[in-house]
Amino acid sequence: MTLALGGIMRRLDYAGATALITGASKGIGEELARALAARGARLVLVARSATRLDEVAEQLRARGADRVDVIAADLFNRETARSVTEELDARGLTVDILFNNAGLGAVGPFLDRPLAHDLGSVDLNITAILGLTHELGGRMKQRGAGGIINVASAAAFQPMPYQASYGASKAYVLSFTEALAEELRGSGVRVMVAHPGPVKTGFFDSTTARIDPRAVSPAQIATRILDDFVRGRSTSFPGRFSDRATALVPRLLPRAVIARVVGNLNRKNGYDHVEDVTPSSPTHRVQR
């Protein structure tokens, strides 16, 4: 799958590579697993729900997947990156490509909603990515080959009233990934950040909020992320073409104006009055 020539990794396809995917039990993560299996990759599926991971793994094996390993792990725990790495070592697995896909989105007025949801966003969207990237990215750098794909969001480019911690966490992922890509330039390890817009997933499960009806399928997002990485891109906009405007417009207008515009849009969508429809912990609102 990879050739290391002169310290530069030339990525041909995914056949024979071992890919670790977080948030692989549903949404984009599950579709990444399906698409990678179809392209001949070996898979390590990571998520909190062991039962659901086993179901996905069995489906993939039934369709002829080369190898599928399951690691049930609580990515909200800061020690999980180390324990996942130890489990990989115990199984004799070397990860060629890391997909930091798992994410959580809190929605509603920040001061009126339970803080636990926002803290969960920080734990999953930021801390989990840092931990796994440090553990597995360091090994890739030593080998002089590998790939890291961090799934951010079209929300990363502007302040997001009524999704304040979510937008901020994805802005962190964007900045971190771009900086890491520069640090690893010429090392043989390629880094890409993906910015999907609205996706048909359980993003707002357990709340009265509703996803944008123009949302695209997670299968489309997964396919385009994989294609963009093969093409050598450092940034992927795998959703609608209009998602690219979310990266451009904030560079042209004052930040306060952008915050006002986004705030008005989110008020129109009803995000300023959000309630839980069932009792839930922050871990029940996994984006992907």
Catalytic amino acids? 166
Indicate the DSSP class of residue 211: -
Nearest-angstrom CA–CA distance, 283 and 101: 15
Locate all alpha helices (DSSP H) within the chain, ordered by sequence.
27-38, 50-62, 80-90, 115-122, 128-143, 164-183, 218-230, 245-248, 255-268
Q: Distance of CA 141 to CAs 12, 17, 185, 190, 285, Å?
A: 19, 16, 11, 10, 33
- In angstroms, the first-to-last Cα distance of the chain is 26
Contact, 160 vs 262, CB < 8 A? yes
For residue 230, what are its two tokens? 């093969």
Residue with the two structure tokens 């009792």: 279
C-alpha to C-alpha distance for 136 and 160, rounded to whole angstroms: 31
Residue with token string 């802005």: 171
Residue that is written with structure tokens 């996803």 in the block: 211
| Pairing assessment for the beta strands 68-72 and 42-47 based on DSSP bridges | parallel
* Two structure tokens written together for 56: 């996905």
Phi, psi of 49 (to 5 degrees): -90, 100
**Position 35: which residue type?**
A
In angstroms, the CA 196 to CA 143 distance is 30
CB–CB of 160/171 below 8 Å?
Answer: no
Helix (H, G, I), strand (E, B) or coil at 176: helix
